[in-house]
Amino acid sequence: MEMFFGGIPTAASNGKTMNVINPINQEIIDTVPCATPEDVNHVLSIAQDGAKLWGSKTTEERADILFNAADALISEQGTIATLLSKETGKPYKQSLGCVDLASQLFRGYAEKAKHLYGHILPSADDFITVQREPLGVVVCITPFNFPIELYGHKAGPALAAGNAVVIKPASDTPLATIYMTEVLIRSGIPAEVLHVVTGSGSIVGRALSESPKVNAISLTGSTSVGIDIMEHCAKNMTRTFMELGGNDGVIILDDADIDHAVAEAINGRIYNAGQVCCAPKRFIVHNSILDEFSEKLVKRILALKIGDPFDPSSDMGCLISESAAAEVAEQVNNTIAAGAKCLCGGERYDKSFYRPTVLTNVTQDMPISKDMEIFGPVFPIIGFDTDEEALSILNQSSYGLSGGVISNNTRRAFGIAKQIDAGGAIINGVGMYRTIHMPFGGYKKSGIGTEGFLETLQEMMHTKSIVLKGLH
């Protein structure tokens, strides 16, 4: 596949390409261009013209086109989901859900934009109105784990607000994004308005973050990448919206329903093979129920089916790559060497698969209990005796994306949730909870800004005050 610049399939100016690998069987699915800085500059020039065209349309005109785009995504849902499962290894049923969610996001932001009104402010002598205007060119950098869903979370509000958009997908997973872009352009989004550029983050990402032609960058990725992009955006005062790493913790209190806690833990940790930024990555369990929780967790894990993402009975697929699985294995082995005990799993096989792994005897001073984010299906269990101790363990991380507390005492759980130092705190859940309406974003090194219908549309627009002096 090739990039889309102005609606035209485009190769890299130097002819270089990179392979896209199916992580299930290590076969090459396709190739995509490795764009150069010159290519980036070219597509941004087209996008600047597109921003003027798209921004000149009325909100209703843009909304009608985005409604068509939402319908087009559903009509092409199967094709997009197939590409997504092939390049990510995630179960096909999950990929279908990602496309459906992207369609909802395009439709929802278009509808919200129609009801985003200006303001008239009080003044004894003057007429003061506050209006919203598009930012211009918005770059959306999406991660390998949810490229289609986050396409919707980022491009949906950017387009509804009147901006031109350039999508930069992760190098591992560009195919569904390219095809989705083609579908959206066919649905009526002007070719000058929506583009996709592929290539390495060190080259393409750097060129995008340094360019004065970019008005905002919305990134979902690692904290280290986010910091690097923010440093380079600062030179042009380019706006940044960052959804970054996490090492989310869930506190399971002594009065919790253990069966419910186990079900929540499994659903939260094996989804997308544990490759989720807001997945529970630290299980902080009261010592009085720790053994029972661990035993029931292992029993449920051993009954899971891991395998072909196109098999409807598969509960979990593989990790994104052989190197990703190897990194998880190394992190687990280091934790075991530090004194943790492996109750099940702890094995990488078929290159990119890693068995769900339960670790006990994990202490609060181990790296896994603080800032070592394991992007895989690993369940480290940390014991505690008091609520204060549990909160201290959870909040000691430099990340603060989400968190959870499970208890049958709502008052007690709510009091703990208020003290969780994170952007989200889920009672009777494990933290991995996100709707398209709620603001989703983190504290500390987990990011800046939010995604969701409540706030994101306004973040994609300038606020302008127009004053007519002496009208009254």
Token pair for 158: 């950017």
- How many Å apart are CA 76 and CA 197, to the nearest integer? 21
Helix (H) or strand (E) holding 139: strand 137-141
Of 149, 192, 243, 451, the catalytic one is 243
Active site residue 318: no
Token pair for 344: 């099940």
Helix (H) or strand (E) holding 291: helix 290-302
| DSSP string for 42-56 | HHHHHHHHHHHHHHT
Token pair for 218: 């919305």
- How many Å apart are CA 234 and CA 31, to the nearest integer? 33
Cross-strand bridge partners of residue 194: 165
- How many Å apart are CA 307 and CA 349, to the nearest integer? 11
Side chain identity, residue 230: M
Neighbours of 227 (CB within 10 A): 12
- How many Å apart are CA 156 and CA 105, to the nearest integer? 6
- How many Å apart are CA 207 and CA 233, to the nearest integer? 10
Those residues whose C-beta lies under 8 Å from the C-beta of residue 387, and which sit 6 or more positions away, are 251, 253, 412, 416
Token pair for 18: 């990179």
Q: Are 161 and 172 in contact (CB under 8 A)?
A: no
Q: What is the separation of C-alpha 275 from the centre of its chain, rounded to a whole number of angstroms?
A: 10
SS3 of residue 145 by DSSP: coil
Of 140, 233, 277, 318, the catalytic one is 277
Active site residue 342: no
Neighbours of 275 (CB within 10 A): 23
Q: Are 440 and 242 in contact (CB under 8 A)?
A: no
- How many Å apart are CA 396 and CA 368, to the nearest integer? 11
Q: Where are the beta strands (DSSP E) in 157-299?
A: 164-168, 194-196, 216-220, 239-243, 249-252, 282-286
SS3 of residue 181 by DSSP: helix
- Which residues are catalytically annotated? 243, 277
